Amino acid sequence: MNIRISSAMTEKAVREDLNVIIIGAGAAGLYAGLSLRKLGISFQILEASDVYGGRLAPLYDFADFQIDLGAQWLHGKNSLLGDIIKQHSIPIKADDSREYFWFRNAITKKPPFNFDIFEDDDLPDLSYTDFARKQGLNADYDGIIEYLAGDLGASASQLSVYHNNREFEEWTSGETNYKFEDTFFDVIDKHVASTIKDAITLNTAALRFDYSKDDVIITDDSGRTHRADKVIITSPVTVLRSGDMEFIPKLPAEKISVFSKLGMEAAIKIYLRFSERFYHETTLGGKVCAAYIDERYGKKGDDNVLLAYLMGEQAEKLMALGNDNKMTQAILKELDRMYDGKASRHFEAARIKNWTAHPWIRGGYSYSTCGMGNARQVAAKPVSGKLYFAGEAMNTKGHHQSVHGAMESGLRAVVEIVGEVQG
């Protein structure tokens, strides 16, 4: 992603009374704020929940090392976030954990089939499930296919092989995943949020956007109004398509329709602490949960914590059980099958983070659906020179689904605003 705040931008004065409001204090909103501050442009951030960070959130009191309840891996370091990491010498460690597979009731080291079949150029616009069937992979392979799709935030029945490849063709940040010594949240807190905290107003949900005149009047959930010349909206697509944010006049019909073409499904992370480490670094392909990951791997600590990472239909099924205890028991039962009853024997405690239940996030991250066409480009387009769209789902350069992609989208919205006001 080549967007940068250029020296020409900083030198050319922007109208002194220009006022920007950013909706949402996740990675996109925070980085948009930091970029505006660098340009000397006045702004405030309205955040619906009682914390900033959005899909970045720390868990400090569960283990003798720090955990991320949301984003935890840095996906490649060739990005503006990678630049921050280099500039501040933030310690990161490549995640080279080995993959093991739960296949036909046994754990194997060898992948049950060659995953490259999903990555060829020019594949049809079919879901992962339908494409797998065409390749002769029967229901035995479903857990593994669910893992591949879940890693991309989707149910296998919803993720398009064609559009997923097409969208990720532009991925440039690198293929290696890294872990932070502390948490991803703390890195963003210290190096992005810290200097702009004064501009964040928490517990303030923006419900109504009247952009029928020269400016935008936002009404929040307490009935207060806020005036802005330009608004950067970083709400996730789940929120945008819900209709819970009212626009006057209505957003263009084409834009409203593409919000539903961007996938974003349920997401749950369950952390389980055990008295013994009986599991592998990763165990992929479970029918209840397709990805079990040793959370301590790459961290400094002694506690045995296993992450159960559930996306899409698997997350929905687990939520349908109704309460945390039943959800934990379902996970333990599957682990017992994989590891001869050791999970129940060594179980100490669980902590569940259900991102679907967050009232202003409502799921995991955006992905490529069958028939989506250029939905992401249309969704990201500004409206009337007053409303600008950012957030991970609005990254049109292949970095959607990521923290650095969210930050890039926030910067892109700022560059669009400055480009327009400077002419």
Residue ranges in contact with ligand FAD by CB under 6 A: 23-29, 46-49, 54-56, 70-73, 75, 205-206, 234-236, 239, 245, 267, 269, 355, 360-361, 364-365, 391-392, 401-403, 406
Map 53-101 to HEC letters: CCCCCEECCCCCCCEECCCCEEECCCCHHHHHHHHCCCCEEECCCCEEE
To ligand FAD, the closest distance from the beta carbon of 323 in angstroms equals 20
Q: Is the dihedral of CA 280, 281, 284, 287 positive or negative?
A: positive
To ligand FAD, the closest distance from the beta carbon of 254 in angstroms equals 21
To ligand FAD, the closest distance from the beta carbon of 206 in angstroms equals 4
Tell which residue, 413, 421, 393, 339, has the closest CA to residue 5.
413
3-state SS assignment for residue 244: coil
To ligand FAD, the closest distance from the beta carbon of 184 in angstroms equals 7
To ligand FAD, the closest distance from the beta carbon of 117 in angstroms equals 25
Phi, psi of 67 (to 5 degrees): -125, 150
Spatial contact of 65 and 299, defined as CB atoms under 8 Å apart: yes
Instruction: Give the integer Cα–Cα distance in Å for 153 and 147.
Output: 10
Nearer to ligand FAD, 31 or 100 (CB): 31
Nearer to ligand FAD, 28 or 289 (CB): 28
Instruction: Give the integer Cα–Cα distance in Å for 348 and 390.
Output: 41
Nearer to ligand FAD, 127 or 401 (CB): 401
- For 113-124, the DSSP string reads S-GGGGT-TT--
Torsion angle in degrees (nearest 10) through CA of 32, 33, 35, 40: 140
To ligand FAD, the closest distance from the beta carbon of 155 in angstroms equals 15
Nearer to ligand FAD, 238 or 339 (CB): 238
Instruction: Give the integer Cα–Cα distance in Å for 323 and 193.
Output: 34
To ligand FAD, the closest distance from the beta carbon of 399 in angstroms equals 9
To ligand FAD, the closest distance from the beta carbon of 264 in angstroms equals 9
For residue 421, give both structure tokens: 């006001």
Nearer to ligand FAD, 26 or 143 (CB): 26
CA-based R_g, the chain, Å: 22
Nearer to ligand FAD, 168 or 278 (CB): 168
Tell which residue, 156, 159, 162, has the closest CA to residue 129.
156
To ligand FAD, the closest distance from the beta carbon of 371 in angstroms equals 23
What count of Cα atoms within 13 Å lies in the side-chain half-sphere of residue 84? 18
Instruction: Give the integer Cα–Cα distance in Å for 31 and 199.
Output: 12
Nearer to ligand FAD, 47 or 142 (CB): 47
Tell which residue, 423, 351, 417, 411, has the closest CA to residue 33.
411
Tell which residue, 113, 161, 115, has the closest CA to residue 140.
113
Nearer to ligand FAD, 128 or 360 (CB): 360
Nearer to ligand FAD, 132 or 216 (CB): 216
Nearer to ligand FAD, 154 or 267 (CB): 267
To ligand FAD, the closest distance from the beta carbon of 204 in angstroms equals 6
